[in-house]
Each structure stands twice: as C-alpha cells, then as structure tokens.
C-alpha cells in the first residue's frame, strides 16, 4: 500500500502517523492556508496540533461576550507558530543543537548565532542560517558579532528551506530594519563589522584589531554614556586628529550635539594621556638595551659606533602652525622669522629606525627658542630625567641648527654628528666635508620622515586656532604613542647584507679624494672651451648601461634616484646638451638646470669605461663628494643608461599648461609706416 502524504507539509506518512481531516482541521486549513480538503486526505500530528489548539481557544456561544465588550478587546493572533509549509529555493544550514553547523564538531560549548549576524549573512551571501543552528565560539571575530573571513566558504548548505509564516515575517522584518538602518545610519564605531580594514585605517589611522586593543587599554577609565559608547568616544578623537574636521562637522557625522563631541574629545584625551601614552612614549617607557637591540639600525651602528653600548638618537624640531593671537605678547613670542608666520615647535627625539623616544614641548618660536636653546632647556632642566637615561659616548644626530649646543653635549661626553658648514668664501663643500655630511644625512632622514608621519594626521597639517594651543602637546604625544604601538617602523632593523654592504662602501670612500675634480680644475674644463668639447645630440653610445640596482649602489641611497625623472624631463625640453671631451673618449659633460634657481645651471662631469662609472664631479654645493653622488650626477647617469624611456611612467606632469602666465604678453606692432602708406595711396 503506497504511503500517503500530509496535506500541509507533504511529508509521507505511515499508517500510524495519519490523522483524519475533520471539520476543525478543514476550517483551519481553509482560513490560514486557503487549502480545500476532502475526506480521503490526511494530516500529520505535528501539523494538526495548531488546528486543535486554535479550536480550543474559541469560546462557545454561551461564553461569547457581548458586542460592547468584544469591541474593547484587542485582536488576537490565531496562530502563534504555524507549521513550516512554505518552501523556498534558498540555501540553508543544518539544524542541530548537538553539533556545530560549520565544522560539524559536537558540543557542549556551542552558542546561538546572533540575529544580526544571520540577517547580514542572508543579505550578503544568500544563505539562511536558522534560529535552531548552533556553532563554536571560535568562528567569530573578537567583536563576537561577525564571522571570520573564511567561515562562509566552509559552510555545507541545503538547497531548499521550509519556513512558516512567523519565520518568514521575522526574516522580512529583519531585512527591512537592516535596509532602513543602512540608509539613515550615522557614523558610529559601535559595530566595527561595518568597516573594512582600509576604511577604519583611513578614518582613525589604525586597523580594526589595533582599535580593539586601544579600547581594551582604556576600558577601566571610561564608561558608556546615553549619548555615545566608549568606542565612539575614542573614535571621535581619532577621527578628528586623522581628518582635521571641525566639531560642528563631527556633530553632524556622528549624530550627536556639538557639546557632546567636545566632551568626547576631552574625555578621550585625558584617558589616553593617563592610561596609554606613558606606556608607549617617553624616556621612562623604554630601556637603553631595548633601544640598542630593537630600534637601532645596523647601518647607523656601523657608521658611528665603536661598541654595542652606545645609543644613537636623532633630534629635530617640527612646526605646528597656529592663528594670530589677540595677546600681542604671545603673538610676538610665537612668530617665527624663519617661516614668517606664528607657530609652536615640538622637539621630536627618535631612534634610527623611526621609533619615537619622546616628544618635548611644544616651545615658542622666537629667536630665544631655536633648536640649540631647546636642547639646552631639555638638558639643564633634566626633563624626563634625560641625564639619567643617556650615558657618556652616546651619539646625537642633529642638523646645523644645534651648532650652539655642541659644547654642552661635549661636557656630557655625548658625540654630536652634524652636517658640515660651508667654509667661509667657498661655494662648494670640500670632498672630505661633503663625505662626512653624507654619513650624517644617511641616518638623519628618519627624523624628517617621523615628522611627516605626524603631519599625515591632518589635524596638525592645518592652522590651529589659539584655543587649541593648550592641547597641542597632548595630541602630538597621543599620535606618537599610536605610531609606536601600532604602526611599522620607518626603517626596518634587519640584519640584511644590504646594510653591511652600504656601510662598507661608504666607509671605504670616506677618505677618498675626488681626482676628477682636480683634473677639471687643473685643465680649466669648467670653462666653456669650444676647442676641447664637441656636442652630441643623443646619449653616448658607449656609455655603460646600468640598471636600478647598480644605480642604487652608486648613489648609496634612493632619494637621488627619485629626483631623476624630474631633472631629465626638464633637460629633454630645454637647450641643455651633452658634450664629449675631444682629447679622451671616456669623459663627458652635461649641463643641468637647477630646480631652485632659474638663472643657474650646473655642469656635471662623468668619467667611465665600457663596464662601469669610474668618477664623477658636479659644481653644486655637495657635488665634490665621493660617498655616493648628488642628484645631478645621478640624473645624468640615469639618462645616459637608457632608463629615461620609463619617464612617462613616473607620473611627472606639466601642470603649468593649465595656469596662466602674466609674463607672456604679445609684442606691440608699430603700424605707423603702413598707415602712412595707406594714407598716401588714398590721397
């Protein structure tokens, strides 16, 4: 005898599972599912129970209330939970409380998937996770409301799903609420799943995992308020520092009042300064051993140190521009004659890898607060107990602005590494001074990059109002602490052969004389003698073809190579030429336009053979050095090596064609002669 199916759920029924369709069931099916029944049809026990329950809830005629009392009663749902009779072609997961529907591992530590996660999975991946499904906690991220990246790809699904009216209505309601919230949602950091790693990095400067770590560091000192959560409070400050937007704009973006934004910034600043900054910034937060072993570049140690106990620190001041103050005394004290505008100066101290040791200040900007005076103030007042931290024979890498503080450093036994000064009456550094200066600039660039990293937080790239002056120091320390904790170093401390090779080449050429310079000066080749030079229109055919790696070994750096396309682009569009020395075939001269002064050009001499470049000399200030090359020499070699074919790929654009030039005025034509001729003819 063939098995008959349930009229509602279509389940095939055995004899003992069949229930007849009586009048209560027939009425129930017709009213709720529009199903007409006959006497030879059956229903299963699970589908028939709601029908009997609905019939038992209806009062008899004797118990029915009057019309007056019935009108005051609220309408009742006839069916709280209807049977799963609606079949949809949607992928769904397995239903079980005993094992995880993702990895199929048994319990007992299984959790319910949140409704928001199930709704988001259905919208984004068209997979329906039922309320009866359970999974392991390890499949969720740290926020506990979203799956890990590879979870969805591991799901084993079923192609069809049966839903009842309640489940379908709940699903439609959840999707509608999701759409409404997405349409009218303001910026909030409560649910980090709405941000990608790149989005949160653009908004706050740190990634999702770093943001959660920052929240954990301050969770004991800050609390939720009716207007905002802890995450939004910290996020408002980071977003303001990263974007530089005003509080009025932030109140619109976060859908809170302007005063609430101000209180959030104030609270976050105080909490971070007490619970986060002291553990990531300042001389007391790190030991000398950690600086030497973890944050000192091998190249710097090979160039400047004699033993592994010396600390190398790089110091420099940076500028934070502010508005003019109504207090005239403060306005005079913050006006910088060097920059021609009001500003304040924080003193930044970093290691050779770019790790921030400390940020002192900010200081005023008048003549009494130059870099040397700030260093005097730092040491004489023993700020952050710096005298106890630094030791004798330590090395400070500074620029020429610290020249008046070198005597103080010598008294403490600290060696100051500083670029050399131009001798009086000279226009070019001698070879030995130019070489020693190159050793300093090879290490000192990292503090400039550290200052640029601070300015990437657009709050400090703007002109700050004077009412923000009391908080500038705190904001800079917060940013430097975030960089130390979460961002990678500017220069990796790797034990690669590149650092050792570069240091060996620099030390080997440190005492080397520039013989080509002597040859040029002895033979007066810097004069434009036509008898000894012949011009060529294109590059020299026998010049050695060097690649980028060989050029980097020649220049001992990448900065010069970055300027090559800009120099050569102007060279190719100007009247500069390449001259070949007639007496020897291995010497050429190239004239390049200065990038700073329109009336100045530099002559570059390059001596070579068929395999490599042997010597070079340039007329610029640092062109006599043998430790690497200047940018003019590097540009000439870059062009002659045939690498200028990639100049179009370097992004160098001529933006001047979009701007008017007032110097381009047409010449006035004198028409007096032609007018007299015309008048004569007419007469």
pLDDT digits (tens, 9 = 90+) for 234-268: 999 999 999 999 999 999 888 888 999 999 999 99
Residue 8 has pLDDT above 90, yes or no: no
The half-sphere exposure of 409 on its side-chain side, counting CA atoms within 13 A, is 22
Q: For residue 363, what pLDDT band results from cuts at 50, 70 and 90?
A: very high
pLDDT (tens digit per residue) in 195-217: 888 899 999 999 999 999 999 99
322-335 mean pLDDT: 94
Residues written for the chain: 683
534-561 mean pLDDT: 81
What domains does the chain contain, in order, with CATH numbers? 4-59 (no CATH), 86-184 (no CATH), 192-275 (no CATH), 283-493 (3.30.420.10), 513-657 (no CATH)
What distance in Å separates the CA atoms of residue 543 and residue 612, rounded to the nearest whole number? Answer: 8
Longest Cα separation, the chain: 132
What is the pLDDT, as a whole number, of residue 494? 53
Q: State residue 112 phi and psi, 5-degree precision.
A: -85, 135
pTM for the full predicted model:
0.72
Q: Which of 547, 495, 520 is closest to 616 using CA atoms?
A: 520
DSSP state of 357: E
Q: For residue 62, what pLDDT band results from cuts at 50, 70 and 90?
A: very low
Whole-number average pLDDT of the chain: 83
Q: For residue 68, what pLDDT band results from cuts at 50, 70 and 90?
A: very low
Q: Which residues of 376-389 are buried (b: 16+ CB within 10 A; e: fewer)?
A: ebbbeeeebebeeb
Q: Tally Cβ neighbours within 10 Å of residue 307.
A: 7
Distant-in-sequence, close-in-space partners of 152: CB < 8 Å, separation ≥ 6: 121, 125, 127
Residue 75 has pLDDT above 50, yes or no: no
Q: Give me 602's structure tokens.
A: 């530099």
Distant-in-sequence, close-in-space partners of 150: CB < 8 Å, separation ≥ 6: none
SS3 391: coil
Sheet strands (E) in 232-273: none
Q: Tally Cβ neighbours within 10 Å of residue 454.
A: 21
Q: Which residue has the higher pLDDT, 172 or 383?
A: 383
What burial class does residue 654 get, using C-beta atoms within 10 Å of its C-beta: 0-12 exposed, 13-18 middle, 19+ buried? Answer: exposed
Q: Tally Cβ neighbours within 10 Å of residue 335.
A: 17
SS3 147: strand
DSSP H or E segment with residue 614? strand 613-618
For residue 292, give Cα distances in angstroms to 329, 383, 387, 503, 640: 44, 22, 18, 18, 42
pLDDT (tens digit per residue) in 439-493: 999 999 999 999 999 999 999 989 999 999 999 999 999 999 999 999 999 886 5
């Amino acid at each position: 005898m063939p098995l008959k199916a349930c009229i509602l759920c279509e389940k095939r029924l055995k004899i003992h599972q069949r229930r007849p369709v009586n009048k209560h069931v027939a009425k129930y099916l017709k009213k709720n599912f529009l199903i007409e029944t006959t006497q030879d049809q059956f229903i299963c026990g699970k589908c028939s129970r709601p029908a009997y329950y609905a019939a038992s809830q209806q009062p008899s005629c004797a118990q029915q209330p009057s019309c007056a009392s019935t009108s005051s009663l609220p309408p009742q749902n006839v069916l709280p939970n209807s049977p799963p009779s609606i079949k949809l072609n949607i992928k769904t997961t397995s239903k079980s409380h005993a094992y995880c529907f993702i990895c199929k591992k048994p319990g007992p530590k299984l959790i319910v998937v949140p409704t928001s996660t199930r709704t988001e999975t259905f919208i984004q991946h068209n997979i329906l996770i039922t309320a009866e499904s359970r999974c392991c906690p390890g499949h969720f991220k740290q926020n506990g409301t979203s799956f890990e990246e590879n979870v969805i790809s591991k799901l084993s699904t079923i192609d069809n799903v049966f839903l009842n009216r309640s489940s379908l209505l709940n699903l439609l309601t959840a999707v509608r609420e999701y759409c409404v919230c997405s349409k009218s949602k303001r910026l909030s950091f409560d649910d980090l799943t709405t941000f990608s790693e790149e989005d949160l990095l653009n908004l706050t400067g740190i990634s999702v995992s770093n943001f959660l770590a920052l929240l954990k560091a301050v969770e004991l000192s800050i609390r939720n308020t009716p207007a905002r959560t802890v995450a939004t409070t910290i996020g408002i400050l980071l977003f303001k520092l990263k974007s530089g937007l005003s509080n009025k704009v932030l109140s619109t973006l976060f859908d809170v009042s302007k005063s609430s934004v101000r209180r959030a910034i104030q609270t976050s600043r105080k909490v971070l300064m007490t619970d986060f900054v002291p553990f990531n910034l300042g001389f007391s937060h790190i030991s000398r051993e950690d600086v030497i072993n973890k944050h000192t570049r091998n190249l710097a140690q090979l160039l400047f140190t004699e033993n592994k106990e010396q600390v190398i620190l790089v110091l420099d001041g940076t500028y934070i521009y502010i508005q003019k103050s109504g207090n005239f005394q403060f306005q005079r004290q913050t006006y910088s004659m060097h920059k021609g505008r009001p500003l304040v100066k924080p003193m930044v101290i970093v290691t050779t890898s770019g790790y921030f040791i400390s940020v002192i200040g900010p200081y005023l900007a008048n003549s009494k607060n130059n870099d040397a005076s700030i260093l005097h103030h730092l040491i004489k007042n023993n700020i952050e107990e710096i005298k106890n931290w630094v030791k004798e024979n330590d090395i400070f890498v500074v620029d020429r602005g610290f020249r008046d503080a070198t005597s103080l450093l010598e008294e403490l036994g600290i060696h100051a590494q500083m670029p050399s000064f131009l001798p009086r009456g000279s226009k070019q550094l001698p070879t030995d001074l130019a070489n020693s200066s190159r050793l300093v600039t090879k290490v000192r660039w990292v503090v400039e990059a550290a200052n640029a990293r601070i300015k990437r937080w657009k709050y400090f790239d703007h002109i700050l109002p004077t009412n923000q002056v009391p908080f500038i120091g705190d904001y800079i320390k917060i940013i430097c602490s975030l960089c130390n904790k979460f961002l990678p170093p500017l220069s990796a401390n790797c034990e690669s052969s590149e650092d050792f090779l570069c240091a060996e080449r620099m030390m080997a050429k440190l005492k080397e004389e520039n013989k080509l310079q002597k040859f040029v000066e002895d033979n007066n080749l810097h004069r434009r003698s036509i008898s000894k030079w012949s011009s060529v229109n294109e590059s020299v055919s026998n010049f050695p073809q060097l690649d980028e790696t060989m050029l980097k070994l020649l220049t001992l750096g990448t900065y010069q190579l970055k300027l090559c396309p800009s120099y050569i682009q102007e060279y190719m569009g100007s009247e500069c030429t390449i001259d070949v020395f007639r007496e020897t075939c291995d010497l050429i001269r190239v004239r390049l336009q200065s990038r700073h002064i329109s009336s100045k050009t530099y002559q570059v001499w390059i001596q070579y053979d068929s395999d490599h470049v042997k010597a070079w000399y340039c007329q610029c200030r640092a062109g006599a050095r043998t430790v690497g090359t200047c940018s003019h020499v590097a540009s000439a070699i870059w062009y002659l090596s045939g690498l200028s074919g990639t100049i179009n790929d370097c992004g160098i654009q001529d933006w001047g064609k979009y701007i008017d030039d007032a110097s381009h005025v047409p010449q006035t034509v004198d028409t007096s002669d032609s007018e007299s001729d015309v008048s004569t003819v007419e007469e």
